[in-house]
Amino acid sequence: DALTAHWPLWAGFLVMLVPTLAGLGREVWSMEIGAHGPIVLATGLWLITQCLPDMRARHSPARALPIVLILALAVPLYVFGRAYDFISLEAAGVYGAMLALAYRLAGWPALRHNIFPFVYLGFLVPPPGWLIDQATAPLRTLVSTVATALLQPLGYPIQREGVTLFVGSYQMLVEDACAGMNSIVGLTAITLFYIYLLHKASWRYSLLLVALIIPVAIFVNIIRVIVLILLTYYAGDGVAQGFLHVTTGIVLFTLALAAMFGIDWLLQRLLGDRLGANA
């Protein structure tokens, strides 16, 4: 039995995993950018349980060299991230250790044939802050520009300087949460899970839907910024930046997810097996 025969590997992995999950819960999952984390963890583990019979049937001996190479990268990442409180590096190290453990227990043929759950769990690794800043810079500019251009002709006193919006006597900064990055990360994870569960579609079809996530997320975030601008204008900054700030994000994320499901439904009927063929 894999649990008893390899208990030292499991024990070592759990020593890494448990504190990292606690850190993710405190530092990432409680914020908008990581809200998809618990969903990815639960659904990813469920997917692995569904793949276990096939992985057992395809089991083959694992070579030592790939395990050593993966751990040679993963362990230093974990130690450095843990020591200096870089949760992204720490989580990346745990993720690498998970891949090494899966390869050791199942072998490459079994892992390759059931690779999606393990790739999917990679969404648990939060992007580093500098990457988010770089990726969201053009999105913040686009969102703020479009929102200003739509509201000015309607007579609202709104001006823009970079990503700073002046609404009447109020000043708003288009934060990362309104720039599309958070929605793109969460939407990509959940959409890929949906595609795999419902279609087990080819990578080409998956890439097509993932590409469509970006314009959907940007459109939804433009709506969100407009809503927050109107809330600020009519009700004040305290209302717009309080409970309703998070609420609008949840509602519009749900709308974006529904839009992706609708796009998939439409593509399935328009393109059929040409894009939705099983892998």
Residues designated as active site: 178, 224
Residue 245 token pair:
């700030």
Do the bridges between strand 158-161 and strand 164-167 make them parallel or antiparallel, or are there none, so unpaired? antiparallel
Question: What are 201's strand-pairing partners?
Answer: 278
Cα 106 to Cα 97: distance, rounded to the nearest angstrom: 14
96 burial type by CB count under 10 A (0-12 exposed, 13-18 middle, 19+ buried): buried
**CB contact set of 60 (below 8 Å; sequence gap of 6+):** 106, 107, 108, 109, 110
Cα 233 to Cα 235: distance, rounded to the nearest angstrom: 6
Question: Strand, helix or coil at 126?
Answer: coil
How many residues would you count in the chain? 279
Instruction: Give the CA distances from residue 146 to residues 25, 131, 154, in Å, rounded to whole numbers and listed in that order.
Output: 34, 24, 13
